[in-house]
Every structure is written in structure tokens, then in C-alpha cells.
Amino acid sequence: MDTEDQAADLVPALRRRMFEIMVLAKACDERLRKGIGTGEFMTVYWPSRGQEAVAAGFATCLRPDDRLVTTYRGLHDQIAKGVPLVEILGEMLGRQVGASRGKGGTMHIADPSVGLMLSTGIVGAGVPVAVGLALAARRQGSDRVVLASFGDGATNTGSFHEATNLAATWRLPVVLVCQNNRYAEMTPTEATMPVSRISDRAKGYDMPGAHVDGNDPEAVHRATAVAVDRARSGGGPTLIECLTYRFFGHFFGDPMAYIPKDELAAAIAADPVGRFADRLLSAGVLDQAGVDEIDAGARHRVDEALATVLASPPPTLDELGRDVYADLGADR
Amino acid sequence: MSAGAADEQTMTVREALALALDQALAADERVLLLGEDIADPGGGVSGVTAGLSTTYGEDRVLDTPISEAAIAGAAIGAALEGMLPVAEIMIMDFVGIAIDQIVNHAAKLRFMSGGRTTCPITLRTAVFGGLGSGATHSQSLEAWFMHIPGLKVVVPSTPRDAKGLLTAAIFDPDPCVVVETVITYGATGPVPLDPGFTIPIGEAEVKRPGNDVTIVTYGRGVFDAMTAADQLSSEGIDVEVLDLRSLVPLDTARVLESVAKTRRAVVHHYATTFAGPGAEVAATISAELFGQLAAPVARVGGRFTPIPAAAGLEAAALPSAAMLVDAVRRTVGRHGG
């Protein structure tokens, strides 16, 4: 299945919505890197800059009650699913306004109120949990679907293969979105697997495998829409490989010695956010003033959220004993 | 099963576990079982789940592939949505495949999400030690789970405790690891039939009162301790047997209460003595009752070696009632304080 050739335009409101998500994720990333880089605040951060189109494309296929499982490189996914910026930034900076009052940190953001059930810090580990979320949906008589977002490296884990096999065997309402950003931590993807297309791994589980341009939100959206419909109607899981790129390495501060400079420069020159802006301008969906307004609006929202976060105190030490157990303190 | 007191029946540990699962499935739609070979006609490798898929359907009693990470992860995901999954890891040695899901996810999701996501799974697993299955099918690995904040760990001994602790675990709001012992599945005793019967997690129980020395033990060790206590009784040594039942939370108060009375303690289990659960118990007793003890706290556990297959070697690697008798004699023979 190859969806890149499907030329029919998506409706303007949807295209604009995807662009807004991408711009907001980009603005948030830029402000975070500026703040860490200048010493304004401290956090650990696994940047998703460059991968915004994937999140914008898939999240716009989901209902509010559909579930998302993502990873430590999850900023764009979390924003796309609707997690409030204050909760994301507050969690990253370890403040009381954070999603879990600073106890989870950058890698572990959850907001069930918008369907974000898990962000995992363990590569591949989200897929088994997604299977369980889908199992519950079926048991509870709901037609909600579960989208599991993960990287190329995850598809080499036992967790991925065990869970993908189970999702396919039980025909569960799961959509598997692989954000192939070309590097598994610091190793090129092609050095880690014999297949040239991760989507081919779907064949082993008798499920459809789609391979799309992950830097094109419309291509991601079209493929995901098919997969979501299939999952929701009882057809079982689909694996979608979105070919994309990360601009800032595995973690912020990564010297990226393993990335060829010309490869990185070419990827940044083809920035999916700018590319999509150009497309919407030429299609007349937005004019330059509209693009500028969305950009300024995103920066303003990020600044406002950050101001709230920086005004919020760090968690109090009694948090150590809270939420370890439902009914007990921390110390046994 | 045979009739006992009005609201109790005599049954085996296996039957008591089955009854707990049966009653939980009947009582609450949120309960579902998943694991390898648990559906009929297999009904579980040891028969604990026999009949349940026929009664409750294969969409509530789910046979899985041999995929322990997926079993644990699927239980976790379902629990995040408010279900009460009971996942079976057939043999305790197999938990290694699932350990990331248990340790990095089930145990920590409540804390890491600030209470937004909770994980009330029950993980049933069984120790197969003593059956000659060798080093990868015999281990008592409960100390692994005791080391992880967020998990509760229970190890029932009697049929009554098996039913009460499993029921408590299923309806507990936190992830619970229930460690069963295959070699004692056939042990019999009275079991309350009330579906609401539970043993509170975190409460030890005096299985036999005594005044001279306390054997602190759990699981299979309780059977050794009762045997040893009978034998030592004929020698005039009055043994108290304290069954921990829960390892997390650990009932430190009852341990200290008993040992404060007897002034002597022998800690016993089938996990290795070295860095075993008994190390925590012995250290706590020593720290809290230092001035009152009449003898150092003794420990009787598994030898620090992979568990061998050949019968004679396996018997020598694992503890026994005879070793416990010797340890108690040495402890009582010491005179201090």
C-alpha cells in the first residue's frame, strides 16, 4: 500500500488544522531548546523537531476518545493529541503544574482526559500496552481505537513483535505508526535490520503495511484514516511506516557525530513545516498573513504556557510518598 | 472438595485458587484472565483455570501466544482502562521476558503519572522448584519484585490464604504479584466459600503459637516449619510459626511482636539465602530487637547455586524441614542476653 500518489486535496479546514499543530510543535521545541541552551531552565529533552508532520497527520484522524501511546520523543504527538502545553512544559521542567507534578518528567507524560494513556521511556514497550488498551475497548463495547506511536528502533524489540503478533491474532483495534527517523538512538536504521522498508514487517503478521512520506502530513493522514477505519470496523491492526527525520539527534546536546553533515543539511532544508506552508500558500488555503498569524499565535501560546510554568513552584517533598501505592505511603 | 463447617469446605490449594478466580469472574465484569494454555480443554498447565473459559467465554479467559511481554503489557493496558486483569506467567522463571512491563510500567505508572493512570493488575505465577525441572524452571524469584516500589507481593501457603490473598489481589487497586507453589497445590485445608472473603494484603499470621523461637517463613516454607515445629515439640522446644503471607507490604509489626516474645528467630524460604527476602526480615529484627535477642537471627534458604535437575542435587540445593530443625536447635542452644 503506497498512499503518496493520492492527489485529492483534503478539506482546507483540516489542512489548516494540521499546519497549526505542526507550527505549535515547532514553536514549543524551539522555545525549549532556547531555554535549555541559554541556561534559562534545565531539563532533559529528546527533540522531535523535524517529525511534526507525522503527529499532525495521524492525530487529525483520531476522535477525542481514541487512545494514544507514545514515547520519550513525544512532544509533537502529545501536542497533536491535545495535551495542554502547561502540563507538558510543567512536567518537563519539574513544576507543580506539570502533568504529574514533576514526578514523571519529560519521558513519562500521561493525560487520559485527552486519550494520552502512556508515554514510555523504554523503546518498544508501548506496543504491548496499546494491545491491552484495545482489548479493554473491545471488552467495554466501545469502538474507540488505539494508536501506538514508536520509532524505527522499536521494531527490533521483542515487545514490538510479541504485541504486534497478538494484536493481529486477536484482530484488535490498533494502529501502529512507526516514525522512522532514520536513526535508532545513534545507529543508522539500515545497520539494524535486514528489511529496507519497516512496513514490510507487517507481512509476517498478515496485516496491511503502509509506507508513506512522513514529512507530508496529508500522506500520513490519508494512510492513518484508512487504518483507523479498518481498526474501528473490526478489521484489525495496520502498520504504517512514516519516513521522516530528526533534526537534533537522539537527545538535545547530542553531538551527532554519527550523522553525515550533508544529510542533515538536506533534511533541514526540506523542513516539513516550511514545505507544508508553501503548499498551503500555493493552494490558496492560507495567505502569507495567515501563515504569519499562525506562527505568531503559536509562539504566543508557548510563551504564555512557559510563563505559567516558570511561576509554578517545584513539587514538595511529600510527593515522594504519594502515588507509590493507592493506599500506602512510600516507605514499607 | 468435602463439606466442613457450614460456610467452609475442605479443598486443595489448586481448588481454592480456582474458586477465587471463578468467584471474581462471576462477581465483576471487569475481571478477565489471560495467559498461556489457560483456556479449556487445557485449563492451565496445572489445572487451576480448568472450566473457566467454558463458563465465562474465551473473550474473558484468553489463551495467549507464548509472549510474556505481550501478556503483561496487555494486562497493563486493560488495567489502565479500568479492567481488573489477571495475567498468568506460567512458571516464575519466565517472568524475565515480561520484567520490563512489570517493573518499568505496572509498578511505576501510578507514581509517574501522579495518580492519573493506575494499574490494578494481578500477576499470577508459580514456582516449580522441587520437581526436577532444572535451573530455568525452578526458581523462587520473589525478591526481584520486593525490590520494586509500587508492586505488592504475596505468597500464600494454605488453601484458605490462597483464596483470600488471590481475591484481595484481584480487587486491589495496585499491581500485585501472587506467587504460587506448584508442589503444594495438592495441600488441603478449610476454605471459606463466601465470594467476599479476603485476606488483607500485608498481614502476617501466626500459624502455630509458641514461646521458645519464631520461625518466620512464607509459602512452601510454612509446610516445612509446621513439620519442624512438630518434631521439635517432642524435644521440648516450643516453636512459633509466623507466616508472612505478604512480602510487600511486609508485616514488620507482627514479626517484631513475635520475636520480642520468643527472643529467637529463624527466617526460612526457598529463595536463595544470599540476598533473599529473609535478609530484609533478619536485618529488621536485628536492628529493632538488638538488645533483646537471645541468639543471632538465623536464616535457612536456598543454596547460592543454579538449581540442579538431578534429584539428589536438587534436594541438596533447596532447604528442607530437616535443615530448619537443625537451625532451630542451634538457635535455641545458644545462650545469650
Residues of B in contact with A105 (CB under 8 A): 112
Interface contact flag, B117 A112, Cβ < 8 Å: yes
% chain A with pLDDT above 70: 96
Q: What is the CATH number of the domain that holds B251?
A: 3.40.50.920
Residues B126 and B258 in one domain: no
> How confident is the prediction for chain B on average, in pLDDT?
96
Residues in chain A: 332
Q: How far apart, in Å, are the Cα atoms of B308 and each of B139, B221, B268?
A: 11, 19, 20
What confidence score (pLDDT) does residue A328 get?
A: 61
Residue numbers of the domain that contains B227: 205-333
- pLDDT digits over B189-206, tens only? 999 999 999 999 999 999
- pLDDT digits over B45-98, tens only? 999 999 999 999 999 999 999 999 999 999 999 999 999 999 999 999 999 999
Return the residue of A nearest to B118 by Cα: A326
Residue B198 within a domain: no
What is the C-alpha end-to-end distance of chain A, expressed in Å?
54
The domain boundary, picked from B166, B192, B218, lies at: B192
Is the ipTM here above 0.85?
yes
Residues of A in contact with B172 (CB under 8 A): 326
Q: What is the rounded average pLDDT of the residues A182-204?
A: 96
Residue B43 within a domain: yes
Q: Which of A100, A132, A323 has the CB atom closest to B75's CB atom?
A: A132
Q: What is the rounded average pLDDT of the residues A244-249?
A: 97
Residues B15 and B122 in one domain: yes
> How confident is the prediction for chain A on average, in pLDDT?
95
- pLDDT digits over B281-295, tens only? 999 999 999 999 999
Q: Where are the domains of chain A?
A: 12-310
**Which pLDDT band, with edges at 50, 70 and 90, does B42 fall under?**
confident
Residues B118 and B20 in one domain: yes
Does position B134 have pLDDT exceeding 60, yes or no?
A: yes
Interface contact flag, B70 A99, Cβ < 8 Å: no
Which residues in chain A (56-75) have CB-CB distances under 8 A to chain B?
A: none
Does position A84 have pLDDT exceeding 90, yes or no?
A: yes
Residues B167 and B45 in one domain: yes
Residue B140 within a domain: yes
Residues B122 and B15 in one domain: yes
What would the CATH number be for the domain defined by A12-310?
3.40.50.970
What confidence score (pLDDT) does residue A2 get?
A: 45
d(CA A257, CA A190): 17
3-state secondary structure chain B: CEECCCCEEEEEHHHHHHHHHHHHHHHCCCEEEEECCCCCCCCCCCCCCCCHHHHHCCCCEEECCCCHHHHHHHHHHHHHCCCEEEEEECCHHHHHHHHHHHHHHHCCHHHHCCCCCCCCCEEEEEECCCCCCCCCCCCCCHHHHHCCCCCEEECCCCHHHHHHHHHHHHCCCCCEEEEEEHHHCCCEEEEECCCCCCCCCCCCEEEECCCCEEEEECCHHHHHHHHHHHHHHCCCCCEEEEECCEEECCCHHHHHHHHHHHCCEEEEEEEECCCCHHHHHHHHHHHHCCCCCCCCCEEEEECCCCCCCCHHHHHHHCCCHHHHHHHHHHHHHCCCC
Distance from CA of A69 to the nearest CA of B (A): 10
**φ, ψ for residue A243 (rounded to 5)?**
-80, 120
Residues B65 and B177 in one domain: yes
Indicate which residue of B137, B142, B268, B269 is catalytic: B137
What confidence score (pLDDT) does residue A183 get?
A: 96
- pLDDT digits over A119-157, tens only? 999 999 999 999 999 999 999 999 999 999 999 999 999
Does position B335 have pLDDT exceeding 60, yes or no?
A: no
Which residues in chain B (159-198) have CB-CB distances under 8 A to chain A?
A: 172-174
What is the residue whose three cell numbers read 531552565? A41
Q: Structural domain tally of chain B? A: 2
Sort strands B2-3 and B205-208 into parallel, antiparallel or unpaired: unpaired
Distance from CA of A143 to the nearest CA of B (A): 14
Q: What is the CATH number of the domain that holds B43?
A: 3.40.50.970
Residues B147 and B284 in one domain: no
Distance from CA of A134 to the nearest CA of B (A): 8
**Which pLDDT band, with edges at 50, 70 and 90, does B337 fall under?**
very low
Does position B6 have pLDDT exceeding 80, yes or no?
A: no
More confident residue, A73 or A7: A73
Residues B168 and B209 in one domain: no
Q: Which of A125, A134, A138 has the CB atom closest to B101's CB atom?
A: A125
Which residues in chain A (169-188) have CB-CB distances under 8 A to chain B?
A: 169-170
What confidence score (pLDDT) does residue A332 get?
A: 42
Distance from CA of A85 to the nearest CA of B (A): 16
Residues B165 and B234 in one domain: no
% chain B with pLDDT above 90: 97
Does position A4 have pLDDT exceeding 60, yes or no?
A: no
Determine which of B81, B117, B198 to mutate to test the interface with A (most A C-beta atoms within 10 Å): B81
Residues B235 and B167 in one domain: no
What confidence score (pLDDT) does residue A327 get?
A: 75
Q: What is the rounded average pLDDT of the residues B100-120?
A: 98
Q: What is the rounded average pLDDT of the residues B90-110?
A: 98
Residues B244 and B297 in one domain: yes
d(CA A328, CA A18): 44
Interface contact flag, A108 B112, Cβ < 8 Å: yes
Q: Which of B70, B116, B173 has the CB atom closest to A131's CB atom?
A: B70
**Which pLDDT band, with edges at 50, 70 and 90, does B210 fall under?**
very high
Residue B199 within a domain: no
Residues of A in contact with B121 (CB under 8 A): none
What confidence score (pLDDT) does residue A8 get?
A: 63
Interface contact flag, A128 B250, Cβ < 8 Å: no
Q: Is the dihedral of CA A262, A267, A269, A270 positive or negative?
A: positive
**Interface membership of B284 toward A (CB under 8 Å):** no
Residue B200 within a domain: no
Residues B168 and B122 in one domain: yes
Q: Is B137 a catalytic residue?
A: yes
Residue B151 within a domain: yes
